[in-house]
Amino acid sequence: MEFQEFKKIPRLSREISITEKIDGTNAQVFIATIEMLREELSTNSLNSWFEQYTLAKIEKNERNYYVFAGSKKRWLDITSKGDNYGFAKWVQANAKELLNLGEGRHYGEWYGKGIQRGYGLDEKRFALFNVGRWNEENKSKCCEVVPILYQGPFDTDMIYSILKSLEVFGSKIAPHFMNPEGVIIYHTASGQLFKKTILNDEKPKGQE
């Protein structure tokens, strides 16, 4: 039997990043080559999966790239039942620009008109989560990046101060919207994400 050692415990007093928690629907853009897909799927599965979920095929630098969309729990297609508030159609329409994100999975929040809080918007938007990689200068033009509210040592008082600021002054991603949800805290040493909401933070998800 393989021996499993006790995992190293990260120190709490290390760097954190706090970003605004956006109340929309979790989404991802997946950009892959055929080689990447063959590593995960058999030939038979690959063919049927391609037929249903490929939103775009784009040639760049003499290589073919395939673009897919996902929600939190499933792959999306452009049928009325298979889409997620229009996200798959948006990915298909913006596939060429999204290719600038590069190979791999790019997670974010699809938010705006008709989704959860709506944020007083007349359209839907996609905000990338990974603030360690993306910013306003290097992101794809069709995307946003979730707002960074603090970066520095772990500080409980700072977390509560930022929550209070959101409550009083409103959302950072949608200025003038006065009902933001809360924050996401990324703890660098542990590689773990935590969330804290302005209202009903003590209640389990689904009972908020």
Taking the alpha carbons of 66, 70, 73, 75 in that order, is the dihedral positive or negative?
negative
Cα 67 to Cα 55: distance, rounded to the nearest angstrom? 6
Q: What is the pLDDT of residue 42?
A: 63
Domain ranges of the chain: 1-22+149-208, 23-145
Q: What is the pLDDT of residue 35?
A: 87
Closest CA to 21 of 196, 156, 155, 144: 196
Q: Using 50, 70 and 90 to split pLDDT, how confident is the model at 203?
A: confident
Q: What is the mean pLDDT of residues 97-109?
A: 96
Specify the range with the lowest mean pLDDT, choosing from 47-51, 163-167, 190-194.
47-51
Q: What is the pLDDT of residue 54?
A: 92
* Higher-scoring residue by pLDDT: 177, 1: 177
Q: What is the mean pLDDT of residues 123-144?
A: 95
Global confidence as pTM = 0.91
- Flag whether pLDDT at 207 surpasses 60: no
Cα 118 to Cα 112: distance, rounded to the nearest angstrom? 4
Task: Answer yes or no: are the C-beta atoms of 191 and 51 closer than 8 Å.
Answer: no
The pLDDT > 90 percentage for the chain reads 79
